[in-house]
Amino acid sequence: MVIVHVSAESYPMAKAGGLGDVVGAVPKYQNKQGDKALVVMPMYKTPFLQENNWAVEYKGSTNLGNWFFDYTIIKENTGKLGYDLYLVDINGLLDRPKIYGYSDDIDRFIGFQVALVNWLSHWTALPSIVHCHDHQAGLIPFMMKYCYDYQKLKNVKTILSIHNAQYQGIMGWDKSILIPRWDMSQKGLLEWDNCINSLASAVKCADKVTTVSPSYMQQLSVQSNGLELLFKNEQNKCVGILNGIDNEIWNPATDSMIPFHYDTSTVYEGKQKNKNALCAKYNLDNTKPLIVFIGRLVAEKAADVLPGAIQHALDKFIQGANFFIIGAGDTATESALNYLVQLYPGQYNTFIGYDEKIGHEAYAAADFLLMPSRVEPCGLNQLYALRYGTIPIVRDTGGLHDTVLDMGDAGGFGIKFLHATETDIVYSIGRAIEVYENKKQMKSMIQIAMQIDHSWQSVIASYKKVYESVI
């Protein structure tokens, strides 16, 4: 099979969250198992773009409404990623430093999708599957089937993977002129709630829909930011496939981003060395349990609850734990988290922003990872934590439900709670401190966690079954 993955993100070219990690890993493992998988994404001005060599693969021209533009497809030259990476360059539209956050993001991603479909229509041998990820690629299934200029593509099968249904690419009907000439009788396939909804369109038009965990697939019919009825109606073509992680990148025995390597036989000494280094760097106490949060400081991650919960925990469990927060997002939450540094020196610190190396260092150093998410389609952080022998403290939702077994259950290796509230979080932190003080139990949970296989090798076969079901 020839599989074209289309996404706004792919690590290491550009990543804002789990989407980038997934799209940067799945094609590599699909190629290892005998298929031909590649990635197409926008050309942003990122360090990876500037530090690597590229070859021009194709030059074309098309239009967004009345704006006619040229586009260029460039390809990473070495193949070192394990898959071919193609970037769509549209001068002035995509070639910017950030992935998201511009006032014209709707136009940017429509332009990206139009250029992609235009390029595909010029392929001599068409792909077997076009695999679209999230709403930034959500109009592609519609355009391939119902745009007059691209009827060559109408029989190519399309798959939609939903990484987060909270974001849907909603726009007014004035934007319909940006879609290449299309069959007006199919207007209903673009529409949801009197608007064009890119994600809803993809759910309707794609041949199959996947989500990043089975539990999240079930939740979408009751919690999907207005698309609940759609998911109920389309449930027969939807399937939840739990994400994996790239064990070649996320491996504490070989990770080039951490100062001290370890495996299951040396984990206790190795983690303590990494913890010593991190605590020295950020003024924390290496004799206390280290609890970290790594993620976007936004409501869906329950980041707004963190300042109060951490303050209450530090007041309740005096001298009981360290906290280290890594993330960026809501400025009020950032300020509240930063303020705690003054109140609890030596027990609490923050890194506002995200740095891949610091993230790896934190997984290797931490005793516990806190994930109080209100919404977590799959979650990769808890999978990274398990790989590094870090015990996850998670809210029981979405992929966290599927991947973490509470310590109270037989073979349990994590700590789960029901509500994204200060009360539940503080109670769970208390459980973590008790586990930390019970060295035998802590060591047992670490060993169980590190031996769980969440590699992509165990997941790719599920995607292949989905592809084969539509071809």
Read off the pLDDT of residues 279-308 as tens digits, 9 standing for 90 and up: 999 999 999 999 999 999 999 999 999 999
Using DSSP's 3-state secondary structure scheme, residue 277 falls into helix
Q: Which residues contact 50 (CB under 8 A, 6 or more apart)?
A: none
Q: How confident is the model at residue 398 (pLDDT cuts 50, 70, 90)?
A: very high
Residue 446 and residue 391 in contact, taking contact as beta carbons nearer than 8 Å: yes
Q: How confident is the model at residue 466 (pLDDT cuts 50, 70, 90)?
A: very high
Structure tokens that stand for 37 in this block: 């998988």
Amino acid identity for residue 286 in this structure: N
pLDDT score, position 170: 98
pLDDT score, position 17: 87
Chain mean position to CA 176: 29
Helices (DSSP H) in 121-227: which residue ranges?
Answer: 140-146, 198-205, 214-219
Residue among 165, 169, 62, 171 at smallest CA distance from 117: 62
Residue 276 and residue 366 in contact, taking contact as beta carbons nearer than 8 Å: no
pLDDT score, position 354: 85
Highest CATH level, class, for 2-244+456-470:
alpha beta
What's the pTM value of the predicted model, to 2 decimals?
Answer: 0.91
pLDDT score, position 3: 98
Rounded Cα gap, residues 150 and 152, in angstroms? 5
How does the average pLDDT of the chain come out, rounded?
97
Rounded Cα gap, residues 72 and 49, in angstroms? 14
Neighbours of 92 (CB within 10 A): 9
Give the HSE-up count for residue 157: Cα atoms under 13 Å, Cβ half-sphere. Answer: 15
Kindly list the domain boundaries of the chain, sorted by start residue.
2-244+456-470, 267-450
pLDDT score, position 458: 77
Highest CATH level, class, for 267-450:
alpha beta
Same fold, 2-244+456-470 and 267-450: yes
* Percent of the chain residues topping a pLDDT of 70: 100
Residue 332 and residue 387 in contact, taking contact as beta carbons nearer than 8 Å: no
| Interval 138-148 mean pLDDT | 98
Helices (DSSP H) in 344-380: which residue ranges?
Answer: 356-365
Structure tokens that stand for 284 in this block: 């924390």
Question: pLDDT at residue 318 above 90?
Answer: no
352-375 tens-digit pLDDT: 998 999 999 999 999 999 999 999
